[in-house]
């Protein structure tokens, strides 16, 4: 009897191994493309993490600045991830060609992304101040929040627009699926440039902080310019109107969630400042999580548009395959970024917490996050599609913002538990 059971076990194990081998053979190009993109993303996130780990001076000089950072990073990923997703869908269905020739469709997308960045930057500044008040955290004046967010948004916008187009077009030209490539790479560049842009904006703020009147004049000029730009963009064409109507409320919600993520981090600022390697891990974890979920969102969006994914109540077929790909990538990526965070901390003289702690923190947090988000992303995709909303404008912003928000909560919670076990 025992031998029969052992034989049945071996058969099931063999079948499982065979099924996995067949699955991998069928989807290996997706996994390879996604993994390459995530590793490239990790480089950008690592640099951002190193910068954040060395930003203790700015976090102490500008109280409440940590509240802004997750929202600002998430906003870049949301706006330009959606921009890249729209480009990818247009490339797949032949609406645009992968050429650096300004067409009406491309112009509309560029201008819409620019306007959305400015609008969301102002809103993020207001939200950051509100969360500081709610959580009774020391903070800057609301004008300082708005100016830092808006100036940083303008700087990063001028950099991210050409990068997004270049990555989308060149990946498509070389036979790579932009859905697997653009979102992680764009997110990595967004993470990479956001923190330096925030630092640059603090220096600019100091230059105009010579007189309260000067700050008010700059603030009023920015508000008028953004309002005029939004109205002009809304009236420009049906496409820009659709993008603004569908994206603005979603992105406002996302900025609020980003602010909540910043509030969570800021509430644990003492733990983070005493364990700087966790500061290094935050952009890595947040960036890789957002990029991984963006890949899933972009693939589901293109699948819904092309008919490969059915908008069913219960996920089937291609949708489940995309879930499996997401978990395979997660199992590889999250231990790796834990190693990166601790190694870079040791290399640059930042206090580390040990590989025995940071690898379990990163891996366990990542698996929990992905298990939640595959369900969330699927239903956001199918519900928006069934309600005649373009998933390209909806899925990535909401999913990455939810990811940013709960990733901070999960990462801090798991960190406190695992660090507590070693004390």
Q: Give per-residue pLDDT as tens, 15-43.
A: 455 555 666 555 666 777 778 778 777 77
pLDDT at 11: 40
CB 162 within 8 A of CB 86: no
pLDDT at 174: 76
pLDDT at 269: 64
CB 183 within 8 A of CB 294: yes
DSSP 352: P
DSSP 28: H
Say whether pLDDT at 89 is over 90. no
Six token digits for residue 420: 């507590």
The candidate with the shortest Cα–Cα distance to 75, out of 400, 422, 411, 417, is 400
The CA distance from 64 to 145, in Å, is 9
CB 243 within 8 A of CB 108: yes
- Encode 220-247: b = buried (16+ Cβ within 10 Å), e = exposed: eebeeebeeebeebbebbeebeebbebb
pLDDT at 400: 73
Mean pLDDT of 322-346: 87
Say whether pLDDT at 6 is over 70. no
Chain segment 127-184, per-residue pLDDT in tens: 888 888 888 877 888 899 999 999 998 998 888 888 888 888 888 887 777 766 776 6
The CA distance from 103 to 109, in Å, is 10
CB 383 within 8 A of CB 357: no
The CA distance from 75 to 390, in Å, is 19
DSSP 237: -
Quick check: helix, strand or coil at residue 7? helix
Give the largest Cα separation in the chain, rounded: 88
Q: What is the pTM of this model?
A: 0.70
Six token digits for residue 352: 């580390």
Six token digits for residue 299: 């693939």
More confident residue, 398 or 362: 362
């Amino acid at each position: 009897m025992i031998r029969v059971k052992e034989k049945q076990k071996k058969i099931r194990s063999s079948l499982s191994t065979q099924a996995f081998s067949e699955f991998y053979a069928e989807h290996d190009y997706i996994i390879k493309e996604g993994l390459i993109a995530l590793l490239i993303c990790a480089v950008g996130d690592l640099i951002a993490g190193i910068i954040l780990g060395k930003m203790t001076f700015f976090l102490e000089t500008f109280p409440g600045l940590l509240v802004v950072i997750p929202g600002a990073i998430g906003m870049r990923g949301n706006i330009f991830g959606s921009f890249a997703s729209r480009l990818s869908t247009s490339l797949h269905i032949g609406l645009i060609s992968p050429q650096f020739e300004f067409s009406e469709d491309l112009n509309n997308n560029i201008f819409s992304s620019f306007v959305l960045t400015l609008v969301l930057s102002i809103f993020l500044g207001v939200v950051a101040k509100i969360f500081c008040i709610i959580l009774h955290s020391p903070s800057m004046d609301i004008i300082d929040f708005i100016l830092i967010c808006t100036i940083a948004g303008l700087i990063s916008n001028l950099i991210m627009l050409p990068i997004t187009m270049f990555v989308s077009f060149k990946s498509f030209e070389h036979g790579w699926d932009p859905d697997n490539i653009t979102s992680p790479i764009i997110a990595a560049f967004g993470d990479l440039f956001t923190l330096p842009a925030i630092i640059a904006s603090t220096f600019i703020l100091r230059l105009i902080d010579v007189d309260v009147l000067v700050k008010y004049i700059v603030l009023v000029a920015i508000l008028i310019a953004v309002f005029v730009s939004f109205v002009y963009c809304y009236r420009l064409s049906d496409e820009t109107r659709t993008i603004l109507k569908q994206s603005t409320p979603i992105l406002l919600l996302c900025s609020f969630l980003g602010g909540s993520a910043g509030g969570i981090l800021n509430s644990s600022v003492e733990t983070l400042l005493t364990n700087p390697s966790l500061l290094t891990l935050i952009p890595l974890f947040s960036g890789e999580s957002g990029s991984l979920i963006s890949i899933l969102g972009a693939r589901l969006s293109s699948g819904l548009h092309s008919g490969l994914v059915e908008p069913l109540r219960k996920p089937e077929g291609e949708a489940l395959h995309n879930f499996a790909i997401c978990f395979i990538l997660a199992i590889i990526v999250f231990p790796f970024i834990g190693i990166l965070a601790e190694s870079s901390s040791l290399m640059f003289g930042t206090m580390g917490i040990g590989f025995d702690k940071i690898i379990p923190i990163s891996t366990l947090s990542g698996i929990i996050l992905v298990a939640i988000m595959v369900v969330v992303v699927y239903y956001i995709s199918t519900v928006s599609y069934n309600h005649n909303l373009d998933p390209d404008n909806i899925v990535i912003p909401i999913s990455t913002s939810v990811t940013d928000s709960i990733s901070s909560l999960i990462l801090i919670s798991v960190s406190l538990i695992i660090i507590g076990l070693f004390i």
